[in-house]
Chains A and B, each alone.
Chain A
């Protein structure tokens, strides 16, 4: 069956081929294999971009295919990051604490170790107690499960409530945005146990892999991100092919009609919403160890809107469109705001891109909505139409 699916969806093969070539290419030029073509920090940027692509295709599935403009998927992304961050931070602090306690004359008791870890982690918010949500932070397995399950459960609960009462369209968007805002406000509080606005930091250091250089670690994470993106792409392409995909697109185009055909629209939406939230969580869990730090500002509603912007610019309703949008906008963003873009001297005014990039992005976005409602991916349609006409 997989065979026929691949045969029916040649674009998936093309995408996988491109992704593999890109991965090999980056690997060859990475510092980990002794080259200087791709610096470690740029490698991290590339790895992070792949994670952003993954969350972008999840967003594309939920919005471009199913018509739910969720302004909450970056929150799921962040939750994934927090979930893995808790383990990273706990385990690393534990290693440091155990190391420092070794100088004691008496071997430390578990209570002493725990208290020292608590002080290390929660000292910044004036506490040393472990909150309940850290109960599983010692276990990589449990936190890895949390990466998928927490966003999934949140999406399931929220979606069940929202879809059941037929909240649709912009109302749903506003509601998801409210959810995101509530979550980020919650995380901003010091007493909720996730270090308030300090967030979780030092995530680039992987416990147990202290001996491995950052160059190599970054390469591994890059590979993992590429693998996750590839797998996610195939998964969504498989999911959206065939009759299931047909129903999903039908929900987007006319929800009432498909309901009168006997489909329980709510269940379909719930499935899509939850599954994409889980994938977003996975993307976040891969992203934040490469970023090194996560804080509540990452989850703020604006981030989820940017996610929608990427998908819209890339072209929604096609998976590769989301990838194009995420790559294009996030790389452009880091180029412009990183100060590497040349300033433009107008004679009377010096246009500094660090100041003007957001203005440009905002206006580009307006332009895309007007003139390229199908986004950059829409250009491919133009090309293929042109080809058909000339054949």
Chain B
């Protein structure tokens, strides 16, 4: 706060000191420097112009850096725009327009270094500009390339800022700048400490800037803010290379170097007395090379002992660029704390990822949980129902160009299409194979390959897009680390919706009651007037229909291909089996376990989703050994063993 006041007083003094001048007269005072500016000396000139506090300083500086200032042969400066041979001139003080001929004028072309200095000087004006966009641009410019000189203008512009968001941004940026550039170490440390709770990429970049270090090697440790002394024996070869690069040691010969040197020194089929035929061994080669070195024909061989001796004689160190050790210490602490926060945030992000993966598994598996879990029917074509659902969505989008409408048409339509497909399959195939589970498995597999090939014949082998509407396209950004796309949120909500819908159907409706009755005792159920055929048909249709909806949801974030079903079928079966067959909550638990497990393994071994899947499957296989009935197991006679 004190520094803000100080800056304010400084500006006021500057203004009062030079009231009587015109801009042109100041320019004339520095005419040579302006006409031929050099990066090293122009600073004074710019300061003088800025200090004048005259109304059109900003325009002048802007036009100068845009190369729009022309000097007349009499030495006076004008803002000018060229059109053919003539120039439209604007007086720097009065802003009066005149026309002049190009031949009388010379254009000023300041170089890049000078232009940068000009724009730095401009920033303080732009920061106070009445136009909000220009202020924003100026702030963005500072953020892009922070410089020490911008700190004071930035701080002094904060109090006058009326836009609340921009003010906050200015304060944040001023904090970043003072962490790096404030004059007093105390101010810097205070700013640095405040960064320890900031997880943004910018704040971490500031800390990293402060903590920039260089790795060096010397015979004795140098003066300066040393971050660490390194042990060269951790990676001896690399350390030696650093030594070579610092010209403190001769290059170590590679195997190829040795071979070439030996080849160059063959005398009558022998190398240093050794016959050529013995050279098929590394040690012999080195011995021969050493013999050559003794004769002086090649440089001495850098053996491991020589290398290690050289390493021991030197100090390997990391040196901070920042000379003040207190500041680097504070920054290290702040970075560590920020890193911890980032790790926590990443963990939260991972958990969200896992949640959305679990939702997808759940959506893909819940239909199966009904057909396999409740009815005990293995449907290998379940994956193809997912595919049919996704293609239904694709076809709907071909006819309805509005994606929002298309999605809301596609969801029920996909349900209807796969429901019918499921009912047809149940009637034609599955109802004839009840109590022959292995045969059901194989017959539905036949359907699966036929459907897959049919889809290939109809839609081709390339992936088809299922585009999500714009309002689903973005992502929910919590901070720089945690963000999750809206599609995944939508899938999560869809999963929740289906969970409650299915629980409702099974527990609260007549259909659900009848389904449970048929599941538990078909004979008894049918003697009570429930038609098991109808129930099986409905249940199977329901399970298949949900697969269709899952297909639309999956198609939105992955591509629609004829093989997409087979990507999900094994996972889905595992989800159901792990969760515990015959139980919706089990499927939920299974999906959660597999989703979170897979993300967790990915976290341990990042950038390898294949490995994560592999280990997850192995884990599931092991899990089933120890809990063969799944997480939510039915006990006793109901388990049907």
A358 CA to B255 CA, complexed, in Å: 56
* Residues of chain A from 165 to 187 with CB closer than 8 A to chain B in the complex: 165-167, 169-171, 173-175, 177-179, 181-182, 185-186
Chain B residue nearest in CB terms to A163: B625
Does B407 have its Cβ within 8 Å of any Cβ on chain A? no
* Residues of chain B from 441 to 459 with CB closer than 8 A to chain A in the complex: 441-443, 445-454, 456-457
Chain A contact-residue range equals 35 or more
Contact A358 B628 (CB under 8 A): no
Contact B449 A362 (CB under 8 A): yes
Which residue, of A305, A361, A366, has the highest number of chain B Cβ atoms within 10 A?
A366
Within the complex, the shortest CB–CB distance from B636 to chain A, in Å, comes to: 16
Chain A residues with CB below 8 A from B437, complex form: 169-170
Contact A185 B446 (CB under 8 A): no
Chain A residues with CB below 8 A from B628, complex form: 165-167, 171
* Residues of chain A from 133 to 176 with CB closer than 8 A to chain B in the complex: 158, 161-162, 164-167, 169-171, 173-175
Does A359 have its Cβ within 8 Å of any Cβ on chain B? yes
Chain A residues with CB below 8 A from B448, complex form: 362
Contact A186 B445 (CB under 8 A): no
Chain A 363-387: CB-based contact to B (< 8 A → 1; otherwise 0): 1111001100100000000000000
A107 CA to B274 CA, complexed, in Å: 13
Main secondary structure of the interface of A (DSSP, over half): helix
> Which one of B266, B281, B442, B446 contacts A363 once the chains associate, using CB atoms below 8 Å?
B446
Does B505 have its Cβ within 8 Å of any Cβ on chain A? no
Within the complex, the shortest CB–CB distance from A47 to chain B, in Å, comes to: 26
Within the complex, the shortest CB–CB distance from B446 to chain A, in Å, comes to: 3
* Residues of chain B from 432 to 490 with CB closer than 8 A to chain A in the complex: 432-433, 437-439, 441-443, 445-454, 456-457
Contact A165 B626 (CB under 8 A): yes
Chain B residue nearest in CB terms to A370: B432
Chain A 333-364: CB-based contact to B (< 8 A → 1; otherwise 0): 00000000000000000000001111101111
Does B262 have its Cβ within 8 Å of any Cβ on chain A? yes
Chain A residue nearest in CB terms to B574: A178
A355 CA to B620 CA, complexed, in Å: 36
Q: A170-B378, A178-B570 are in contact. Are A112 and B453 (CB under 8 A)?
A: no
List the 4 closest pairs (A to B, CB-CB), nearest first. A362-B450, A365-B446, A358-B453, A182-B617
Chain B residues with CB below 8 A from A178, complex form: 570, 573-574, 617, 620-621
Within the complex, the shortest CB–CB distance from A381 to chain B, in Å, comes to: 18
Which residue, of A69, A179, A358, has the highest number of chain B Cβ atoms within 10 A?
A358
Within the complex, the shortest CB–CB distance from B496 to chain A, in Å, comes to: 27
Does A302 have its Cβ within 8 Å of any Cβ on chain B? yes
Contact B622 A161 (CB under 8 A): yes
Chain A residues with CB below 8 A from B621, complex form: 158, 161-162, 175, 178-179, 182
Within the complex, the shortest CB–CB distance from B422 to chain A, in Å, comes to: 16
Within the complex, the shortest CB–CB distance from A162 to chain B, in Å, comes to: 7
* Residues of chain B from 585 to 641 with CB closer than 8 A to chain A in the complex: 608, 610-611, 613-614, 617-618, 620-622, 624-626, 628
With A167-B624, A309-B445 known, 20 other A-B pairs at CB within 8 A are A108-B280, A109-B285, A167-B625, A169-B438, A170-B437, A171-B577, A175-B577, A175-B624, A178-B573, A178-B574, A178-B620, A179-B621, A182-B613, A182-B617, A308-B442, A308-B445, A309-B442, A362-B450, A365-B442, A365-B446
A177 CA to B577 CA, complexed, in Å: 13
A161 CA to B621 CA, complexed, in Å: 9
A189 CA to B613 CA, complexed, in Å: 11
Chain A residue nearest in CB terms to B620: A178
Does A105 have its Cβ within 8 Å of any Cβ on chain B? yes
Does B566 have its Cβ within 8 Å of any Cβ on chain A? yes
Chain B residues with CB below 8 A from A364, complex form: 446
> Which one of B432, B446, B618, B625 contacts A162 once the chains associate, using CB atoms below 8 Å?
B625
Chain B residues with CB below 8 A from A90, complex form: none
Chain B residues with CB below 8 A from A105, complex form: 263, 266, 276
Does B429 have its Cβ within 8 Å of any Cβ on chain A? yes
List 18 contacting pairs A-B, 8 Å CB cutoff, sorted by A: A69-B441, A106-B259, A107-B279, A110-B281, A167-B628, A170-B438, A171-B577, A174-B570, A174-B574, A178-B570, A178-B574, A178-B620, A186-B610, A308-B442, A355-B456, A359-B454, A361-B449, A370-B432
Chain B residue nearest in CB terms to A311: B442
Does B277 have its Cβ within 8 Å of any Cβ on chain A? yes
Does B282 have its Cβ within 8 Å of any Cβ on chain A? yes
Contact A369 B577 (CB under 8 A): no
* Residues of chain B from 278 to 293 with CB closer than 8 A to chain A in the complex: 279-282, 285
Contact surface of A with B, Cβ cutoff 8 Å: 69, 104-112, 158, 161-162, 164-167, 169-171, 173-175, 177-179, 181-182, 185-186, 188-189, 191, 301-302, 305, 308-309, 312, 355-359, 361-366, 369-370, 373
Contact B438 A69 (CB under 8 A): yes
Chain B residue nearest in CB terms to A105: B263
Contact B614 A182 (CB under 8 A): yes
Contact B611 A181 (CB under 8 A): no
Within the complex, the shortest CB–CB distance from A125 to chain B, in Å, comes to: 13
Which residue, of B266, B433, B446, B610, has the highest number of chain A Cβ atoms within 10 A?
B446
Contact B266 A366 (CB under 8 A): no
Chain B residues with CB below 8 A from A106, complex form: 259, 262-263, 276, 279-280, 285
A368 CA to B448 CA, complexed, in Å: 15
A175 CA to B442 CA, complexed, in Å: 16
Chain B residue nearest in CB terms to A360: B450
A346 CA to B281 CA, complexed, in Å: 72
Contact B613 A185 (CB under 8 A): yes
Contact B457 A355 (CB under 8 A): yes
Contact B447 A366 (CB under 8 A): yes
Chain B residues with CB below 8 A from A355, complex form: 453, 456-457
A373 CA to B433 CA, complexed, in Å: 11
Contact B453 A362 (CB under 8 A): yes
> Which one of B255, B441, B453 contacts A170 once the chains associate, using CB atoms below 8 Å?
B441
Contact A358 B445 (CB under 8 A): no
> Which one of B574, B608, B617, B618 contacts A189 once the chains associate, using CB atoms below 8 Å?
B608
A106 CA to B266 CA, complexed, in Å: 10
Contact A109 B611 (CB under 8 A): no
Q: A106-B259, A173-B438, A178-B617 are in contact. Are A358 and B452 (CB under 8 A)?
A: yes
Chain A residues with CB below 8 A from B453, complex form: 355-359, 362
Contact B445 A365 (CB under 8 A): yes
A220 CA to B135 CA, complexed, in Å: 83
> Which one of A177, A185, A356, A370 contacts B457 once the chains associate, using CB atoms below 8 Å?
A356
Within the complex, the shortest CB–CB distance from A363 to chain B, in Å, comes to: 5
Q: A109-B285, A161-B622 are in contact. Are A185 and B617 (CB under 8 A)?
A: yes
Contact B266 A109 (CB under 8 A): no
Within the complex, the shortest CB–CB distance from B458 to chain A, in Å, comes to: 10
Chain A residue nearest in CB terms to B570: A181
Within the complex, the shortest CB–CB distance from A186 to chain B, in Å, comes to: 5
Contact B281 A109 (CB under 8 A): yes
Chain B residues with CB below 8 A from A188, complex form: 610
A109 CA to B255 CA, complexed, in Å: 10
Chain A residue nearest in CB terms to B616: A182
Contact B262 A189 (CB under 8 A): no
Chain B 370-413: CB-based contact to A (< 8 A → 1; otherwise 0): 00000000101000000000000000000000000000000000
Contact B577 A174 (CB under 8 A): yes
Chain A residue nearest in CB terms to B456: A355
A170 CA to B445 CA, complexed, in Å: 13
Within the complex, the shortest CB–CB distance from A42 to chain B, in Å, comes to: 26
A302 CA to B569 CA, complexed, in Å: 11
Chain B residues with CB below 8 A from A109, complex form: 255, 279-282, 285
> Which one of A112, A165, A358, A373 contacts B624 once the chains associate, using CB atoms below 8 Å?
A165
Chain B residues with CB below 8 A from A177, complex form: 570, 573
Chain B residue nearest in CB terms to A373: B439
Chain B residues with CB below 8 A from A174, complex form: 570, 573-574, 577
Within the complex, the shortest CB–CB distance from A357 to chain B, in Å, comes to: 8
Within the complex, the shortest CB–CB distance from A241 to chain B, in Å, comes to: 25
Within the complex, the shortest CB–CB distance from B364 to chain A, in Å, comes to: 15
Chain A residues with CB below 8 A from B439, complex form: 369, 373
Chain B residues with CB below 8 A from A373, complex form: 439
Contact B574 A366 (CB under 8 A): no
